[in-house]
Structure 1
Amino acid sequence: MKIMIIGASRGLGRALFEGLAEPGNTMIGVSRSLPRDLKLPRGAYQQWICADFSSPRTAVQHIEAESPDTLDTLICNIGIWEKTAFSDSYAFLQQTDDETISLVDVNITSILLLLKRLIPKLLSSNSAKPQILLTGSTSGLRQSGRPEMAFGASKTALNGIADALRENFREEQLAVTSLQLGYLNTDDDLSVPRDTAAHNGNGELIPVHDVVNLVKTLLTLSEASFVRELVLPAIKDPRF
């Protein structure tokens, strides 16, 4: 299986890159810089493409040129947020125009341009059900209880992108899954035991292990089904 992960150098993206790298799989990672000390099993192949989504057009042109002719799975793990997001100091009216425009370019524009260039590679796959996984957020759900305007709007837009993709490519059996994730414990990588990572999050942070395990399940479903949307909040998240 050829799996491309956008934003694969750290945090959740890195966990997915390492966790899905099974023998025989080819992992294509996209990030601004190459990560160090990756832990991949013997027989798993890797390729890295350096791209900076602050310049969406340049980034996607480079990815298109450097990526394989075919892909089986694309995981879009793209997302930046306001500098003061998720803190008491966040205030929408204090956000600069440049910051808002940059966030929209990375979180929305780059994904649209990327999908336009990579969907043909997915449809050329020998897989009976090529897949796209879009990393969303519980901040993009209705009544999320979060005030971050640009970030929340961009993750809500991702839901619309997913719905439109399904309609555009339903006959081609393109499976599109939205991952609506709550707050993650990205300090503890896969080398930390899952139960330890869960304990460190004190019920308020989700270990990346849980997301990796769920994505593994998604990739093993038969061609007859797919998961449309997966909502994964922390157990103590008062919004859910």
Structure 2
Amino acid sequence: MKIMIVGASRGLGRALVDGLLGDGHTLIGVSRQRPGSLDAGLGAQLQWIAADLARPVEAVEQIAREAPAGLDAVIYNLGVWEEKAFSDEYAFLDDADEAIVDMVNTNITATILLLKRLVPRLLGSSKPQLILTGSTSGLRQSGRPEVTFSASKFALNGIADALRESFREQGLAVTALQLGYLNTQDGLSVPLADATARGEGELIPVHDVLTIVRALLSLSNVSFVRELVLPAIRDERF
């Protein structure tokens, strides 16, 4: 399959790149910069587009110019959060207006503008798929106080719902993947048993997310997973 991964340079995105490359897929990675640690010998199997989606209009046009004309799947993994998010120091009233605007532009505006250009490239596939990486913070009664990040992930659910209805007749499968807290420190090179030990059961290893994505990509073209919630088993919010 020919797959674009947006937000691919580190953490979960990098794990998806490494895992799906190993499965033999052709990948197009998108991030602000191409990681220096990538194997330069991958040739035609890996293309990289360096674009900063914090500047949505400019970045989207660049990606549209450099992306292939046809794609089988897009994994949209982009998302930024408040400087003090997920800590006891977070306080909504302390967030700078400029930082809030930047988050909305990156997490919502860039997503809508880029998908407007990428969806037509998916529709030519025999099994077009779009996987949107959301967050349990975007679910109702999530138990999290981060206002702008939660709002942007809630908006992602609305984007997914609307795209399903807009392109249902063309067979576009849209999955919202709602993830809990991730262990992004341990990549695929770390054994799963070691990765699960970090966080004492409260952090999801990226290995598990890769397993889910592989399953989604392997479905037939007559079924899809509408939404999947993946929290850690010891996450008391769920």
Question: What TM-score do the two structures reach when normalised by structure 1?
Answer: 0.96
Paired residue secondary structure (1:75): strand
Structure 2 CA distance for aligned equivalents of residues 64 and 149 of structure 1: 31
- Name the CA shift for 1:40/1:164 in 2 (closer, same or farther; >3 Å): farther
Q: Which runs of 5+ in 2 are unaligned?
A: none
Partner of 2:186: 188
**Letter aligned with residue 8 of structure 1:** A
- The alpha carbon displacement at 1:223 in A equals 1.1
**1:58-77 equivalent positions in 2, closer than 5 A:** 58-77=58-77
Partner of 1:214: 212
Paired residue secondary structure (2:21): coil
Q: How many residues align?
A: 238
- Answer yes or no: is the 8 Å Cα contact 1:23–1:42 preserved in 2: no
Structure 2 CA distance for aligned equivalents of residues 102 and 222 of structure 1: 38
- Name the CA shift for 1:140/1:112 in 2 (closer, same or farther; >3 Å): same
Partner of 1:133: 131
- Name the CA shift for 1:44/1:227 in 2 (closer, same or farther; >3 Å): farther
Structure 2 CA distance for aligned equivalents of residues 136 and 94 of structure 1: 25
Structure 2 CA distance for aligned equivalents of residues 120 and 193 of structure 1: 39
Partner of 2:49: 49
User: Is the deviation greater in 57-66 or in 34-43?
Assistant: 34-43
Paired residue secondary structure (2:48): strand
1:167-203 C-alpha deviation (Å, 9 max, x unpaired): 0000001000001000000000000011110012310
Structure 2 CA distance for aligned equivalents of residues 23 and 145 of structure 1: 37
**Letter aligned with residue 106 of structure 2:** V
- The alpha carbon displacement at 1:34 in A equals 1.0
Structure 1 CA distance for aligned equivalents of residues 98 and 203 of structure 2: 31
- Answer yes or no: is the 8 Å Cα contact 1:7–1:30 preserved in 2: yes
Q: CA RMSD in A?
A: 1.6
- The alpha carbon displacement at 1:42 in A equals 7.3
**1:74-89 equivalent positions in 2, closer than 5 A:** 74-89=74-89
Structure 2 CA distance for aligned equivalents of residues 154 and 213 of structure 1: 26
- The alpha carbon displacement at 1:83 in A equals 0.3
Partner of 1:199: 197
- The alpha carbon displacement at 1:25 in A equals 1.9
**Letter aligned with residue 94 of structure 2:** Q
% identical equivalent positions: 64
Partner of 2:236: 238
Structure 2 CA distance for aligned equivalents of residues 98 and 42 of structure 1: 40
- The alpha carbon displacement at 1:124 in A equals 2.0
Structure 2 CA distance for aligned equivalents of residues 40 and 139 of structure 1: 37
Partner of 1:101: 101
- Answer yes or no: is the 8 Å Cα contact 1:29–1:46 preserved in 2: yes
Paired residue secondary structure (1:78): coil
**1:144-163 equivalent positions in 2, closer than 5 A:** 144-163=142-161
Q: Which runs of 5+ in 1 are unaligned?
A: none
